[in-house]
Structure 1
Amino acid sequence: MSYRQLLTPEEKLADVKKLLSLPHIVVICGSTRFMTEMNEADLRETKDGKIVVKPGIDVKSPHERCSDAVEAQALKVRLAGLHRAKIRLADEVLVVGDYIGDSTRAEIAYARSLGKPVRFTHPEVDPDA
């Protein structure tokens, strides 16, 4: 008797994306100090026919949602979790900028642990190169 092998959640997601004929999904990672470069990368990738997801809030820039230190830290934690979900959803990661901080380094490691390809706008900053 043969048993059907169960699919992992990642395999199920890949199958559904194929069934829906979704375009390639790329998630942009990097320090929010590179938001302008992220927007430019978004334009290039979208022009190439890809679905692009990227950070939606720059917690380093002045904003009423980030004025209280406790609330800002809680928001940062929630946004990190949300960004990890974007990485899980994506087919590929694009790291923008010529600097890799701790958060971006952790995102790269997470993406690679999931088997996601990782590209860099500045390949020289790849921590595993």
Structure 2
Amino acid sequence: MPDRPEIVCICGSTRFVDEMSAANRDLTFAGVIVLAPGVFLRAEDREAGGSITAEQKTALDALHLRKIDLADRVLVVNPGGYIGESTSREIAYARATGKPVSFTEPSFTEPS
């Protein structure tokens, strides 16, 4: 048995909050330490035109890269194969730092 549980960082578009929550739950019940985005806009916030500032987005993006640094591997939540700009950047960062990356959608074709 390892000295500590595996640490997995969940990446993906924050529009997939339900799918990320399900992955978080499944991994947690499997005994995994999960690192995931910490800020999700609620549907009513988006409908009311609410958002985060550009400065906040930049800070959250940098914080998420630090979470990848702490993780043993990355799980990309990508319903329908969707990978946005921020997630693409996180995948590239994870790979550059030697982290294994897997996807919830097996049909996803990775960018070259």
Quote the Cα distance in structure 2 between the aligned partners of 1:60 and 1:117. Answer: 30
Instruction: Find the partner of 1:40 among 19, 22, 43.
Output: 22
Give the Å deviation of 1:128.
4.5
Quote the Cα distance in structure 2 between the aligned partners of 1:126 and 1:34. Answer: 19
Give the Å deviation of 1:126.
4.3
Structure 1 residue runs without a partner (length 5+):
1-17
Residue 102 of structure 2 is matched in structure 1 by: 119
Residue 102 of structure 1 is matched in structure 2 by: 85
Matched, 1:58 2:21: no
SS of alignment partner, residue 19 of structure 2: helix
TM-score (norm 2): 0.84
Matched, 1:26 2:30: no
Which gives a bigger RCO, structure 1 or 2 (Cα 8 Å, sep 6+)?
A: 2
Residue 75 of structure 1 is matched in structure 2 by: 56
Give the Å deviation of 1:80.
0.2
Structure 2 residue runs without a partner (length 5+):
none
SS of alignment partner, residue 91 of structure 2: helix
Give the Å deviation of 1:58.
1.8
TM-score (norm 1): 0.74
Quote the Cα distance in structure 1 between the aligned partners of 2:41 and 2:109. Answer: 24
SS of alignment partner, residue 68 of structure 2: helix
1:26 touches 1:93 (CA, 8 Å); kept in 2?
Answer: yes
Larger Rg: 1
SS of alignment partner, residue 125 of structure 1: coil
Q: Which amino acid aligns with 1:96?
A: V
1:31 touches 1:104 (CA, 8 Å); kept in 2?
Answer: yes
SS of alignment partner, residue 44 of structure 1: helix
Quote the Cα distance in structure 2 between the aligned partners of 1:38 and 1:31. Answer: 9
State percent identity of aligned pairs: 47
